[in-house]
Amino acid sequence: MNKVHSRLSLIKSLAVLVILLLNQPLSAEPIRFGSVAMDIPAVMHKRLVPLTDYLSKELQQPVELKLSPSMKTAIKEISDNTVELAYLTPVAYIKSHAMGKTRLIVKTVTNNRSSFQLMIVVKEDSPIKTIEDLVGKNFAFGDPAALLQRAVVVGAGVKLDTLGSYKFVGHYDNIARGVMRGFYDAGILKDTTAFKWQGKGLRILHSSAHLPPYNLAASSELDEEIFQKLKKAFLSLNVNNPEHRKIIKALDKKYDGFAATNDQEYDIIRTLTKPFE
C-alpha cells in the first residue's frame, strides 16, 4: 500500500513539475539595447540597467545593454539591426531613420513636458540685445556632436562664420559659467539650464521652437509584437509609483516618464539640420 502511495505521490509531483515548466516563458534571444554615449560607459550602464531589468520582466525576455562608444556608432548599430532598441537624441533618430527606417517607440517627458527648447543666453548686463548683435562675438557651444545647437543658432539668423569665434566647452553648466564670467559673449543652453540661470546673471536672448526630445527607438526588423509590448511597458511607467520612479530617475533625474510620439514630430529637426547635410 505504501508503495502505491509513493508511486501516486511521485506521479503527482511529476505532473506539477510539467505544469510549471509549461507555464514558464519560452527562452528567447536577448533584445540588445544600445544608446548614444552621453556619459562614460560605466555611468551609462548605471543609468540604463534599472530600465533593462524592468523591460526584461515586462517582456519575459532578456534585454541586454550593448553600449556604443559614440553617437556615430549608436546610429549605425540601430540602423543595421546590430541592436534592436536604442536610446537616441533627436538628431541620432532622424539619421538612423534615414539609414535604416528606425521606428520610434516613445519620447521622454521632462518636467511634465514632452518637448524642449534651446536658448541663446547672454549676461544680464550685456549690450547684446538682438540676434544680429551676435555678429563678431565669441560664442560657446556644448559638444561638437550636438549638431542641433549649431542648427538652432543658424536657424535664428546667425551664420557661424560671422561669429568672432566659437568653442565647444562640454556640459551646459560649463557654457552658463563661461558666459557668466565673460569668457564668451553668448552661449546656447537647454531650457531647463537657461531657466535655472535666468535672473541670476544670465538673460535669454532667443528661444527656439519647441523641439521633440530624446527618444527610445526600435530597429526596423524588430518583431511587431515585441515592439507593441515595449511601447506598452514604457507608457506604463508611472513616476508616482515608487518603484517606477527609481527606474525613470536613474535614466535622468529630470525625467517624469515617457509619452507616445511619431516620426512627423521630428520633421522640425530635419528642417533645422538640413543646412548641415
For residue range 12-50, list pLDDT tens digits in order: 545 444 444 444 444 478 999 999 887 788 889 999 999
Q: What number is the average pLDDT over the span 221-238?
A: 97
In the CATH hierarchy, which top-level class contains the domain 31-110+213-266? alpha beta
Residue 65 bridge partners (DSSP): 33
- Cα separation of 59 and 210, whole Å? 33
CA dihedral 122, 127, 131, 137 (to 10 degrees): -80
Residue 69 has what pLDDT?
85
> Where do the structural domains in the chain lie, given as residue ranges?
31-110+213-266, 118-207
Residue 26 has what pLDDT?
43
Residue 118 has what pLDDT?
97
Q: What number is the average pLDDT over the span 59-69?
A: 93
Say whether 118-207 and 31-110+213-266 share the same fold.
Answer: yes
102-141 CB burial, b ≥16 within 10 A, e <16: bbbbbbbbbeeebbbbbbbbbbeebebeeeebbeebbbbb
Answer left, alpha or beta for residue 267, where phi above 0 means left and psi between -120 and 50 means alpha: alpha
pLDDT tens for 92-124 read 999 999 998 899 999 999 989 999 999 999 999
Residue 16 has what pLDDT?
43
Instruction: Give the full edge-to-edge strand order of the sheet including 118-123.
Output: 165-168, 138-141, 186-190, 118-123, 202-207
Residue by residue, DSSP assigns 110-155 as ETTBS-B-EEEEEETT-S--SGGGGTT-EEEES-TT-HHHHHHHHH
Distances (CA, A) of 232 to 42, 59, 209, 217, 244: 28, 10, 29, 14, 14
In single-letter form, the type of residue at position 192 comes to T
Residue 7 has what pLDDT?
55
Residue 25 has what pLDDT?
47
Report residue 9's pLDDT band, with 50, 70 and 90 as the boundaries.
Answer: low
Q: Is the pLDDT of residue 187 over 80?
A: yes
62-84 CB burial, b ≥16 within 10 A, e <16: ebebbbbeebeebbbbbbeebbb
CATH superfamily entry for domain 118-207: Periplasmic binding protein-like II (3.40.190.10)
Residue 20 has what pLDDT?
44
Q: What number is the average pLDDT over the span 248-266?
A: 96
Are 119 and 148 within 8 A, CB to CB? Answer: no
Q: Is the pLDDT of residue 208 over 90?
A: yes
